[in-house]
Structure 1
Amino acid sequence: MPDTSPTDQPRRRQARGERRIAQLLEAASTVFSTTGYTAASTNAIAREAGVSPGTLYQFFPNKEAIAIELSRRLMHEMREMYGEALAPVDPEDTLEEIVGGAVDRFIAFNCDHPVFFSLLHGPDVPGTLDAEHEALHAALLGRVEALIASLLPEASTGDITRTAQVCLGTYKAGLELVLSHTGAERDAYIQEIKNVLTRYLEPLVGDRLGRPSDRTATARS
């Protein structure tokens, strides 16, 4: 018989537990996206996961705990994603490429994880997630401000914050439309978001990074 370490069995139990948690969270994602948080139940989540309610309760005491764990994992993933999406831009990129690349990454994340929008933008945000979501929004706003500041080096702090807020607000308004459509219609809404953001920013930053438009002063007056 092969030698086994005394820690092998606990490690196997831990691995099985992690797989079970992932299974439950995936099922919860489906249920929350389909029915909303309020209408969801632990029985429905267990049924979707193909386990008994008793098995679910071994890992989570209630649906709020499930929603909080799921949301925190997705917020962590989103922080990693927007770190890449809002990284310093290549000075050779056009404004359309800068906007399009960022929008595509954010849209892809939300389309891959529709439960993120359901839980954090719905009317019934569970537990303490409101404060955590506000912190995520503040961090995201800071990254957008830093990107815009690199495009508008002469702009005031107030102008940069205002521009960043308008960009985020425009994106969030369009995101709801994107998530409520599929196929070619969804693609059309994504393109509309890119068009709106590009046309809003173009008078401020010019056609290309590093070549400010002559209309900047007019736009800010």
Structure 2
Amino acid sequence: MSEEPAPRRRQARGERRIAQLLQAAASVFCRTGYAAASTNAIAREAKVSPGTLYQYFPNKEAIAVELGDRLLQEMRDAEGLAFERADLDLPLPELVDAVLEPVIAFNCRNPAFLALMHGSGDVPGRIAEEHEAVHESMLARVDGLIEALAPGLDAGERRRVAAMALGIVKAGLDLVLAAPEGQERDGTVAELKRALVRYLDPLLAPRELGAPRR
């Protein structure tokens, strides 16, 4: 059998190196925030020289954009899974659980997402724009879900409820990620779900046309 062509081997090594640098960047962004991070810190975290880093990325912004693109795509996948699981016949606590679980799991796997997307205004404009598009997509999906659950709400109130629900989730995720993994984090996740149910239940249940209160 002939050996694998050298260009393909070089490409595979390059992909592994890029993944290594992005993982290091994610760790640095989580620890220091984007603004305080530097290419030297990322290179040290990756255990490579700055020169090696510059072979793949010209600056910190390029690293952040590549990392942001990958995280945003994974977030879109998590969002799609979340709403695919939204069975409107479920009791509200189970519905909240089904929708939140993929989103919580994504953020726990990728703590750099909140550090990069919800950080200061210093993040590259492209990341901010794409994150805003993901936010608007999520808001529209939540709006549609609330419309199905509470058709009596007018469009303005429905939009406010959807925005508030997302705000509760965002604030709760900050607390979830700050909690140590294990029992403490599990308890914080349960509190986030409970807070969302308690907010939504009085708004939705009375408007379920003839349906018993859940």
Distance 1:205 1:77 in 2: 30
Aligned to 1:161, which of 134, 147, 159?
159
Q: Does structure 2 retain, via aligned residues, the 8 Å contact 1:91–1:210? A: no
Q: Does structure 2 retain, via aligned residues, the 8 Å contact 1:27–1:48? A: yes
Q: Does structure 2 retain, via aligned residues, the 8 Å contact 1:88–1:147? A: no
Between the two proteins, the alignment pairs up a number of residues equal to: 211
Task: Report the CA distance shift for 1:19/1:198 in structure 2 as closer, same or farther (over 3 A).
Answer: same
After superposition, the CA RMSD in angstroms is 2.4
- Whether 2:86 is the aligned partner of 1:89: answer yes
User: Aligned-pair distance for 1:212?
Assistant: 4.4
Matches within 5 A, 1:57-76: 57-76=54-73
Distance 1:124 1:38 in 2: 9
1:144 aligned residue: 142
Matches within 5 A, 1:1-221: 2-3=1-2, 8-87=5-84, 89-128=86-125, 129-182=127-180, 183-206=182-205, 212=211
User: Aligned-pair distance for 1:100?
Assistant: 1.5
Structure 1 letter corresponding to 2:173: L
Identity %: 52
Task: Report the CA distance shift for 1:158/1:124 in structure 2 as closer, same or farther (over 3 A).
Answer: closer
The answer for unaligned runs of 5 or more in structure 2 is none
Distance 2:209 2:3 in 1: 62
User: Aligned-pair distance for 1:158?
Assistant: 1.9
What secondary structure sits across from 2:48 in the alignment?
coil
Larger gyration radius, structure 1 or structure 2 = 1
The answer for unaligned runs of 5 or more in structure 1 is 215-221
User: Aligned-pair distance for 1:180?
Assistant: 1.6
- Of 21-30 and 11-20, more deviation after overlay is shown by 11-20
Distance 1:85 1:125 in 2: 30
Q: Can you list the C-alpha shifts for 1:39-87, whole angstroms capped at 9, x where unaligned?
A: 2211221122122111110110011111111011101100010101122
Q: Does structure 2 retain, via aligned residues, the 8 Å contact 1:64–1:127? A: yes
What secondary structure sits across from 1:58 in the alignment?
helix
Structure 2 letter corresponding to 1:12: R
Q: Can you list the C-alpha shifts for 1:83-133, whole angstroms capped at 9, x where unaligned?
A: 011226334421111101222222221111111111111124421122221
User: Aligned-pair distance for 1:166?
Assistant: 1.1
User: Aligned-pair distance for 1:205?
Assistant: 2.9
Distance 2:175 2:166 in 1: 15
TM-score, structure 1 as length reference: 0.85
Distance 1:138 1:197 in 2: 19
- Of 179-188 and 49-58, more deviation after overlay is shown by 179-188
